[in-house]
Structure 1
Amino acid sequence: MLIITTLSTPLLYRFLGASAFGEYAFLLSVFAIYMIFVSSGITDGVRKFLAEDRAAANWSEHVVGFYFRLAVVLAVVGALLLVGAAQFGIVGLTFGDELTIYFYALAALVITAQFRDYARKTLMGFGLERYSEPLKVLDKVGFVVVAIPLVYVGYGVMGALAGHLFASILVAAVGLVLVHRRISLSCVFSRPTARFPRKQMLTFNSMSIVLVFLLMSLYHIDIVMLQRFAESSAVGNYRAALTLAEFLWFVPLALQTVYVHSTSELWSNNRYRKITDLASRTTRYTFLLTAVMAVGLAALADVAVPIYFGAEAEPAITPLLLLLPGALGFALARPILAVSQGNGTLRYPIAATGAAAAINVALNAVLIPRYGMHGAAVATSVGYGTMFAFHCWSARLVGFDPLADARFGRVILTTLLAAVPIVALTTALPGPWLALAVVPPVGFVIFLAFALLVGALDPTEPFEILAAFPDPIGSRADSIHSRLEARLSGDTTRNWLQILLFVGGLSLLVSGLALGLLDASF
């Protein structure tokens, strides 16, 4: 998905232009907020309750049927409301007459997107990620195959929306067939017993809607408010900056996707120590990986943005730099939020997300009218960043500690030490294409060396992670991990390793400073 998005987004930006790309981004933001009330309670609910190990008769069939019926009702009502808003002039009065025609396309997309997401999340609830995750890729491919040609030949924003419509129909059809192979969809017509926990499910649905609404406001309220106070070209460039900043989230998003239903089983079995260990190690790994990506993206921003989006997107460089600190904080909050959702007690995650969302809205309202997209970037970055702090507080109230093995100070020190040679290397290289080719791999090695040096990462941990991969990678990594564990069991060996890593890390830092000074002298 990351590869497809990386290739397709600059094409859309170039073919649509900054102004039309801004309108397209605005429409998707409005649609995403609207779909919260149509689908979020259903998609979160079906994957949570299917993942729970309950002894009730025909539990899975009743959960699938209950949420399918609810999905039909909400999709039809949601689509009719959008058609009515467009037909009776509410859309034109609120957003402008030129956008009204697009809302008819969004109304059709409400229905198709509802069943696309229902099918995918049902498969996830059954633990069938081997089907649900390729469907996400199919959705992206279907969109690109239809949208890019239509936009290129001149259909503009409507062509892009047609791509979304085609892709969601395709994924919904394939996904429902896969669900039917696991459990017959005839269960839609069966009625569960009186003991079926409808009230609990509807309560979870309503709480999920509130949580997702607050969460999605962090993604989209800046786009909606910026459209109100700035030109569409500014919205397009700001959306371009957000697109690059959101690349930091691809690993946290993957973790968030699976942690809701996978930790539901741990919570139901009262495995609190396992949950804390999982959450804290995830926080540390997420911080390490996201931090090195943020440092690299910041160092390469001046050369990457014009190459990626074109010269028209150069105004997006400063908003991108302003967004990166907050995007890093939001990346850390995502897996923590998912573990809290798996518990099913949503009042603390809602309070944490609500506090961050309120800060985000308030700052956007103050800064956008005066500073435009730069104000939006600052406001959104602060809102994103506070998510991590608030959700650490929420996690402790829910019953786990995401910082138990996070080694926060060591990770921060790793980031600061590695940033110096990475930025110096970027400055010293003569051309933009050479910098794009050299800095990411070399920067990763530099960062990894400092992580091992300061103890943010144990020497055996990379191989422990790789051991979970399919063969031949998994078996070889497991063998290396076992040998390293045996050799590093003594304190003396560990001390000598730390000394060697310190010398190597100091050499990297001095080399980076020398490169920077050498470049400055020229």
Structure 2
Amino acid sequence: MIYLSKFSDNTLKNSLFAQAIVKIFGSLISIFVASLVARYLGSEKLGKLFFVLSVIGILSPISSLGIKGGLTAALCKNINRKKYIQSALILEIVGRTLVPLAFAPLIMIFESNEVLLLYFLACIWNIFLSFEAIEVVLFNQHQGRLIAKVEFLGVLLNLCFVLFAVYTSMPIYAFVVMQILNASYRFIALLCICSETSLKDLLRPLSREIILSLFKCSKPLILVGLTISLYTKIDQLMIQWISGFSYLAYYTTSISSIERLCIFGPVLFNTFASKLSPEGISKKEYIQNVVYYNRLAWLMGSFLAVIGIVFMPSLIMLLYGDEYSPASKVIYFFFPTIFAMIVGGASGVWLNVNGHTDIMIKRAALGAAINIALNLVLIPRYNIYGAAVSTSIAYIASVYIVGVYTSKTKGYFLSLLLPFSSTSFFSSKA
């Protein structure tokens, strides 16, 4: 609380608190819903569902065209906002439609029609995830309370959908259809409440100049996102290949539980993004904002890591049952991952806002190289436990090594590493 008080913008604080409350509620509900689906489908079918979603996840940085990060950087400059928003939304819809379909032939190597149909349904769901571009606009306006209201209703709708599907014994496809309905609701709702865009804007011609400007910001982020998704999802594909769908279900259940803890991170990052640019403020104020931001990220990462290790294994056993006991055991190896996901996400926003996309590419490439190399060695021998160790090492290394050893970002990353130090790491460079 003391660090939040340093930010004088009450709208920003209210935005953050509203989202945090909904995230806590949503996280609890999603854990219950996930366990219900896991028990209903069983590990084999759940593994098929996770496999399809992992493929979509790997393709997501390409299909989204890096628009989310590019738009975040563009809005911080407050130039031609409406045109940037319109162009970003249309481009993301087009990308999310075409890219997954282009990769559909690769899924056909699976002789299972069930997997193929799940993939095509997931492609439709991926299109409606374009609502993330609208969220960027609302975050920039510090309107997190509006996002929280939409998300709150979405959580309740998802709960009702799942309960109905389980009660009526629906097939596995129904659970992807539910995600399509939920994502389409969020897309339409956010589009209606955002004052800077509307359905009519989607029909207007695009500006070539704006498109090129957006791609200039987003192009490096496509590579960053793809590299990150590869080293966070490739282990899931390798586990499926080596051990089958059931072990994929155990591993993904564990890492999904970790990700649900870390959903609070983007709330902090996106809400404070507009405070992390040195434009329009003094150097002293800028450094102060960055230091407090790093402290919040460090405290959040440490707290969530402890919560994850202490409570999540028992919670998984309680909710998922004995069939998923491997998921409860592997979660202990994700302790460093939880912390790294939070501070890594925080530093990623700072790097993007301040134009250091080259550093983002280098550290993502380092993380991917380490994770893939370790996966090749550890997964065949230690299965899901080897994958968890690989992921943790790769996350920690990618967050700090490149940033600390690069002169233009060294001050920031030392501040992120030692946020409570009395030393001013920004004394020479902001």
The interval holding the TM-score normalised by the smaller chain is 0.7 to 0.9
Q: Which amino acid aligns with 2:137?
A: T
In structure 2, the residue matched to 1:101 is 117
Q: Supply the distance in 2 between the matched residues of 1:193 and 1:299 (Cα, whole angstroms).
A: 52
> Who is 1:386 aligned against?
397
**Per the alignment, do residues 72 and 303 of structure 1 end up closer, same or farther by CA in structure 2, a change over 3 Å counting?**
closer
Shift of 1:305: 3.0
Counterpart in the other structure of 2:75:
50
What is the distance in 2 between the residues matched to 1:339 and 1:35? 22
Deviation per CA, 1:337-392: give whole Å up to 9, x if none: 11111113301111112111211111112211222111111111111221332364
Tell me, yes or no, if structure 1 residue 175 matches structure 2 residue 168: no
Change (3 A) 1:45 1:145: farther
1:193-222 Cα shifts (integer Å, max 9, x gaps)? 78x454332121211111111222233222
* Matched residue, 1:508: none
The 1:329/1:184 distance shift into structure 2, 3 A limit, reads: closer
Match for residue 257 of structure 1 among 243, 254, 270: 270
CA contact (8 A) 1:348 1:394 kept: no
314 and 405 in structure 1: CA distance in 2 versus 1, 3 angstrom threshold: closer
**Which deviates the most, 286-295 or 343-352?**
286-295
- Residue number among 354, 361, 371 corresponding to 2:365 in the alignment: 354
- In structure 2, do the counterparts of structure 1 residues 60 and 309 end up closer, same or farther at CA, with 3 Å as the change threshold? same
Is 2:354 aligned against 1:343?
yes
Residue-pair matches, total: 397
> Where does 1:324-473 land on structure 2 (aligned, <5 Å)?
324-390=335-401, 392-393=403-404, 397-398=408-409, 400-404=411-415, 407=418
Q: Say yes or no: does 1:12 pair with 2:28.
A: no
Gaps of 5+ in 2: 1-25, 423-430
Distance 1:168 1:270 in 2: 38
| Equivalence map 1:229-240=2 (5 Å) | 229-240=242-253
1:92 matched to which residue of 2?
Answer: 108
Amino acid at match of 1:254: V
- The offset of 1:296, in angstroms, is 4.5
Please give the secondary structure, in 2, of the residue aligned with 1:155.
coil
1:142 and 2:142 equivalent? no
Q: Could you tell me whether the CA contact under 8 Å between 1:39 and 1:71 is conserved in 2?
A: yes
SS of residue paired to 1:404: helix
Indicate yes or no: 2:97 matched with 1:71: no
Task: State the alpha-carbon separation in 2 of the partners of residues 399 and 375 from structure 1.
Answer: 31
Q: Classify 1:225/1:153 alpha carbon distance in 2 versus 1 (closer, same or farther; 3 Å).
A: farther
**How far 1:165 moved relative to its partner?**
0.4
Structure 1 pair 261/149, CA: closer, same or farther in 2 (3 Å)? Answer: farther
Take 2:202 and 2:177, find their aligned partners in 1: how far apart are those partners? 30
Q: Which runs of 5+ in 1 are unaligned?
A: 411-454, 456-522
Partner of 1:163: 178
Mark the CA change 1:354 to 1:185 in structure 2 (over 3 Å): closer, same or farther.
Answer: same
Look at both structures and tell me which one has the larger radius of gyration over its CA atoms: 1
Q: Structure 1 residues 334-343 or 93-102, which shifts more?
A: 93-102
CA contact (8 A) 1:367 1:375 kept: yes
Mapped partners of 1:104, 1:330: distance in 2? 30
Which fold has the larger relative contact order, with Cα–Cα distance below 8 Å and residues 6 or more apart in sequence?
2
Equivalent residue, structure 2, for 1:214? 227
The amino acid across from 1:6 in the alignment is I
Q: Measure, in 2, the Cα distance between the counterparts of 1:75 and 1:287.
A: 33
CA distance in 2, matches of 1:95, 1:358: 31
- Rounded to whole Å, the distance in 2 between the matches of 1:296 and 1:171 is 29
Alpha-carbon distance, 1:402 to partner: 4.0
**Partner of residue 298, structure 2:** 287
Q: How many Å separate the matches in 2 of 1:292 and 1:64?
A: 35
| In structure 1, distance between residues paired with 2:179 and 2:232 | 19
Residue aligning to 1:496:
none
Residue aligned with 1:154, SS? coil
Cα pair distance change 1:46/1:307, threshold 3 Å = same
1:236-247 equivalences in 2 (<5 Å): 236-247=249-260
Q: Match for 1:319 among 315, 330, 337?
A: 330
Q: 1:152 to 1:261 in 2, by over 3 A?
A: farther
Residues 49 and 118, structure 2, Cα contact 8 Å, conserved in 1: no
**C-alpha distance in 1 between matches for 2:289 and 2:381:** 43
Q: How far is the alpha carbon of 1:16 from its aligned partner?
A: 1.6
Residue type of the partner of 1:81? Answer: A
RMSD: 3.0
Which residue of structure 1 aligns with residue 139 of structure 2? Answer: 124
Distance 2:110 2:390 in 1: 24
C-alpha displacement at 1:399, in angstroms? 7.3
When residues 252 and 65 of structure 1 are mapped into structure 2, their CA distance, relative to the original with a 3 A threshold, is: closer
Q: What's 1:298 paired with?
A: 309
Output the CA distance in 2 between the equivalents of 1:375 and 1:212: 24
Amino acid at match of 1:42: I
Equivalent residues of 2:262, 2:304 under 8 A apart: no
Deviation at 1:63, TM superposition (A): 1.2
SS, match of residue 344 in structure 1: coil
1:301: Cα distance to partner? 5.6
